[in-house]
Amino acid sequence: MLGLRKTAEAIKNANGPAQHIMYSVWGFIIAGMYVDMGVSNYILLAWVSCSLLTAGAVVWLSKNFLKRILLADVLLSALVLGLYISETTFGGHSGVDPIYYVNTINGMEPAMKNTMGHTVDSLGSLSNFISHILPCLVLIFHGIYLANLVERQELERKRFNDGKL
């Protein structure tokens, strides 16, 4: 637990807590990219909450809790990425778009609704697809790195306190 003053000093010096705070901010921002992209809003809300809790854990909670919340954030990031890829690539969970009926001049006729509005067909769609995948992948790998960093810091602190230098 650092407290506000030590956290602000660590951020000014670009120490480890600065990376955790930045990870928290990027998690919040990147989660916003997936709104209305075939991912449940409840999962996105959990991801945003977890990302914001990371910033709180840096300031007020233990390193062990910080490590666990980072791993939970990585898990939610991977879940969102998997759901996005499956929705975009395979057309959702059922594989069949729902049928809607529209009133035309000839009466009621079935019409297929495209729920996502994009596929990986054209170059524009491909760049949209990649621009959603890459930030999330970077966030996943950075979260794993930060959790490992916290674990190594805790082991080093324990080794130092036990006098086994």
pLDDT tens track for 123-133: 456 677 778 88
pLDDT at 69: 92
Question: Closest Cα to residue 73, out of 19, 138, 24, 133?
Answer: 24
Q: Helix (H, G, I), strand (E, B), or coil: what is residue 45?
A: helix
Q: Which two tokens stand for residue 122?
A: 């054209």
> Count of domains in the chain?
1
C-alpha 25 chain-centroid distance: 11
The model's pLDDT over 148-159, given as tens digits with 9 standing for 90+, comes to 888 888 888 888
Residue 103 backbone dihedrals phi, psi, to 5 degrees: -90, 115
Q: Residue 62 has what pLDDT?
A: 85
Q: With a threshold of 0.85, does the pTM exceed it?
A: no
Using the predicted structure, report yes or no on whether residue 32 has a pLDDT greater than 50: yes
Region for 99 from its dihedrals, namely left if φ exceeds 0, alpha if ψ lies in -120 to 50, beta otherwise: beta
**How does pLDDT run across 40-72, given as a tens digit for each residue?**
889 889 988 998 898 888 888 888 898 899 999
| Cβ atoms within 10 Å, residue 141 | 12
What range defines the domain where residue 148 resides? 3-161
Q: Return the higher-pLDDT residue of 19 and 96.
A: 19
